[in-house]
Amino acid sequence: MDYVKAAAWLALVSGSCLIVAASVLALQNRASSNVVFATAALVGTAIFYFLQLVFELQGSTSTEVINAELTIDREKREVHNWSTNHHPPFKYAYEQPLNKWLSLQPISEVRSNEVSLIRDAILVSTLSLFQWEEPDWQMKEKRVSSRRVAHWTRGPDSSEGAYERVLLVSIGELLKKSGNLIPADFAEGGRKELHLPPSSNISIGRTNISIRSPFCEISFEFEEAEGMHFEKPGDETRPMMTNGEPRFVTYVVPTRVTTRFLKLRTHHPERSDYENWTKRLIVKARLWLES
């Protein structure tokens, strides 16, 4: 249990016991106005204190929906995010091993599990976002521009002890246990570990990813595909395969991103660091999944 949560329960229980004990003493010594007034002051102060905790320590929850798009080329057994405007530079590093694995699967199996494969691929893509774009929760970036080129530079990682180390190998094991159809190989390039906020833990379900720290929790919920179209990306034609089915299918998978800040650290001086991290993560996720 979080020690701040334990402290809150201890304050509630001990405060209640103190009020009860003081009231019993005041009742048995009610002839003393000093004892009675002191007890009344104690009870009033305790009530005021707990009311302040209730009104001052307020958590918050916000939700955004990212419409992740992914196109499958049934003929080649490949998936791509075909909208390449402002494409994240490491996006193809995730797609290449995925397509290599897909090319080895029987066509009938890929076709029968197509909807599940797309959603699983988007979940794996989100994990790849952490590996390639957000490996450190305190990473700082700045834009460096000149007349010919503009690029982003990244500052140093979090100092030792200011993060929770999570190995990509362990994330791959969690992904496998979740029942995801895609055997993600996080060993191919990129960072081999993530630096999440201190005391964080990551959980991966069949349709969700959640990261929880003592300050906040951010979760990605991948819903069923809501729409599809069959145009070839780029020219809007509808190529057909020899069996009469469309060659290209683009799926839209709503991804619900929920950020919840816990109430017990509402006014902690480091809360802004967590707010900056979650905001940056959502911006990166939208660029990664939609572009």
pLDDT of residue 81: 76
Q: What is the pTM of this model?
A: 0.83
> Which residues have a Cβ under 8 Å from the Cβ of 43 and sit 6 or more positions away?
19, 22, 23
Residue that the structure tokens 């020899």 belong to: 242
Q: Return per-residue pLDDT of the chain as tens, 291 residues.
A: 688 888 989 999 999 999 999 999 999 998 998 999 999 999 999 999 989 988 898 989 999 999 998 888 888 888 887 655 555 556 666 677 778 888 888 877 778 888 888 898 899 889 888 888 888 998 876 655 555 544 445 555 667 678 899 888 888 889 889 988 887 665 566 678 899 999 999 999 999 999 999 999 999 999 988 767 888 877 778 888 888 888 888 889 999 999 999 999 989 999 999 999 999 999 999 988 886
pLDDT of residue 151: 46
With beta carbons less than 8 A apart as the criterion, state whether 186 and 125 touch: no
d(CA 174, CA 28): 61
pLDDT of residue 188: 60
Q: What burial class does residue 148 get, using C-beta atoms within 10 Å of its C-beta: 0-12 exposed, 13-18 middle, 19+ buried?
A: exposed
- Mutual orientation of helices 271-290 and 114-132 as an angle, nearest 10°? 130
With beta carbons less than 8 A apart as the criterion, state whether 56 and 268 touch: no
Q: Return the domain boundaries, the chain.
A: 3-56, 60-290
Kindly report the number of other CB atoms within 10 A of residue 123's CB atom. 26
What are the tens digits of pLDDT across the range 102-151? 888 887 777 888 888 889 889 988 988 888 888 899 887 665 555 554 44
pLDDT of residue 144: 57
Three-class DSSP category at 168: helix
pLDDT of residue 189: 63
With beta carbons less than 8 A apart as the criterion, state whether 127 and 145 touch: no
pLDDT of residue 192: 82
With beta carbons less than 8 A apart as the criterion, state whether 193 and 171 touch: no
